[in-house]
Amino acid sequence: MEQNEIILRLKNAQLPFTDVISATYECSDHYDQNAKKINFYCVYCKSSYESGSLVYTQIWLPENWNGKLIALGNGGMADSIHVRELLNYSVLGYAAVQTDMGTSGGRERGINNQAVWRDFGWRATHGMAVLGKQLSEICYGKKPEYSYFVGASTGGQQAFSEAQRFPEDFNGIIAGVPANNRVALHTYFLWNHNHLRRPDGKVMFTDKEIQNITHLAVSFFQSRKDGAEGDNFVTYPTRDDHTITEFIAYLAKNGMDREQCDALTAVYTGPKDPKSGKRIYNGMPIGSEIYGCGIKDCQQAESPHFYPFIWCFGADYNGYNFNFSDDYKKIRDTLSADLDANRDDLSGFNERGGKMIVYSGSADPCVPYPDAEGYCNRLFDRFGGYEKTSEFFRYFLLPGRDHGSSGNGTNCEWATPEGGSLLDLLRAWCENNTAPNSITAARVENGSRIFTREIYPYGSKKNLRVADVNLCEIF
């Protein structure tokens, strides 16, 4: 088809619940002069699935299409589309699509509006998959050979939701630092905030004290021979009650006062229901205090990522009177059905031949890794152990990695020590049935490789770690 005919067909596409706002023919150098030059069709869509729903989606369709669709996850409360990410994959030949998840109107749109909860929790992502495939077929005259999803944090929630709710949408999924246990995760943020910052604005720790805690965590675990000698980060921070007690005593010997020690005990232990004593979520990993959503962020005027509480309790809610029993039940009953993606029945995804790679960082205070380990353990129970589960699902824990790439430990991951991406691994697994038996976690600074670590899947014979706490009850 001629260029003008393709644009006309894209503009006039009949799409479910969706209007095409624009369809244009563009060049990558309009967005980045240094990018590989490609020409592509850019389609911008607006969807409304019910009253109160408003979702924006954008897809880039390169002329040099490789036959694959890649859907890109978002982060935080989403609310925007990141053209840089669309560019990064389009120049590789992928048809690339992303959604704002229905939150571009700001967090107030979600107050008492279940349409926003549905869009954010699952519907916008599924809609993105449907639109991506339909528009690819209109543009190229055929459906994608393979469809992939790549996302982290909120993108990890999207990934889990897709595998659980819509197993037909994607052949392969990469879920980084997955925020799939959404309501409990945000309750963990509020728990930390309420223990670290008083209503009068007083905070428990100065910036220098926070840095010192993380420094002391490294020396504490090094003294226990937990991690590689010489690492300036905590490799794998065990967090059983005995370890927490020992570390708090270590901090007390190094100048922490009683009030600070009590606050840290609560933060490391994690939120619990005061009536039942049941764990709501795991605590902050020791050694992660200085990173994003760590102690400093939890001492800000508002708890990190506070929007679910606004959605449930109203615009003026501040969280200080939150009851971790009754109010937790209310927010869970209100939002979990749409926002959480905790189901361990991935039978549909497995039966369709789907493959999923999941990873966490051991120094991530934003989405702490024990929750993902707990999810793996439930998969092992359901599917009969690691061997059966690993036929379609593999989880990797990256030492010293925070929520992004600014931690002191590993800050990137490769398919092999020589390079390649996790997407390369996923494609090899989906397209050639070559499963990833390990990945290479690395530390790179100013383009130079500082060190690498070979990481094996959680639960495999070469990685016999088990979750070291009783994890939260999944509702």
Share of the chain above pLDDT 70, in %: 96
Whole-number Å distance between alpha carbons of 425 and 436 = 6
Q: Strands 439-445, 448-455: parallel, antiparallel or unpaired by DSSP?
A: antiparallel
Domain parsing of the chain, residue ranges: 3-180+339-455, 184-336
Question: What phi, psi does 18 have (nearest 5°)?
Answer: -135, 140
Query: How confident is the model over 208-222, as a mean pLDDT?
Result: 95
Q: Compute the residue count for the chain.
A: 475
Q: How far is CA 235 from the centre of its chain?
A: 20
pLDDT the model gives residue 236: 84
Confidence of residue 407 (pLDDT cuts 50, 70, 90): confident
Tokens of 83: 């053209």
Least confident of 281-290, 363-372, 414-423: 414-423
Query: How confident is the model over 35-62, as a mean pLDDT?
Result: 97
User: Cβ contacts of residue 202 below 8 Å, gap of 6+?
Assistant: none
Confidence of residue 166 (pLDDT cuts 50, 70, 90): very high
Whole-number Å distance between alpha carbons of 161 and 167 = 9
Largest CA distance in the chain: 75
Alpha helix stretches (DSSP H) within 224-325? 241-253, 258-269, 295-298, 307-313
Q: pLDDT tens digit string along 426-456?
A: 999 999 999 999 999 999 998 899 999 999 9
Query: How confident is the model over 139-149, as a mean pLDDT?
Result: 97
Task: Give the Å distances, CA to CA, from 347 to 340, 355, 382, 473.
Answer: 18, 12, 10, 22
Whole-number Å distance between alpha carbons of 314 and 312 = 6
Query: How confident is the model over 220-229, as a mean pLDDT?
Result: 76
State the DSSP code for 27. E
Query: How confident is the model over 325-340, as a mean pLDDT?
Result: 98
If you search the block for the tokens 């978002």, which residue do you land on? 74
Q: pLDDT tens digit string along 173-185?
A: 999 999 999 999 9
Confidence of residue 223 (pLDDT cuts 50, 70, 90): confident
- Quick check: helix, strand or coil at residue 53? coil
Share of the chain above pLDDT 90, in %: 87
Q: Sheet holding 412-414: strands in order across?
A: 412-414, 439-445, 448-455
Whole-number Å distance between alpha carbons of 320 and 79 = 26
Question: Of all helices (H) and strands (E), which one includes residue 130?
Answer: helix 124-140
Whole-number Å distance between alpha carbons of 7 and 1 = 10
pLDDT score of 406 more than 90: no
pLDDT score of 473 more than 70: no
pLDDT score of 119 more than 80: yes
Whole-number Å distance between alpha carbons of 151 and 367 = 14
Burial class (CB in 10 A: 0-12, 13-18, 19+), 265: middle
If you search the block for the tokens 């009949």, which residue do you land on? 14
Tokens of 105: 């109107």
pLDDT the model gives residue 237: 84
CATH topology of domain 3-180+339-455: Rossmann fold (3.40.50)
pLDDT score of 468 more than 70: no
Task: Give the Å distances, CA to CA, from 260 to 143, 239, 243, 321.
Answer: 58, 18, 17, 21
Tokens of 400: 């010293």
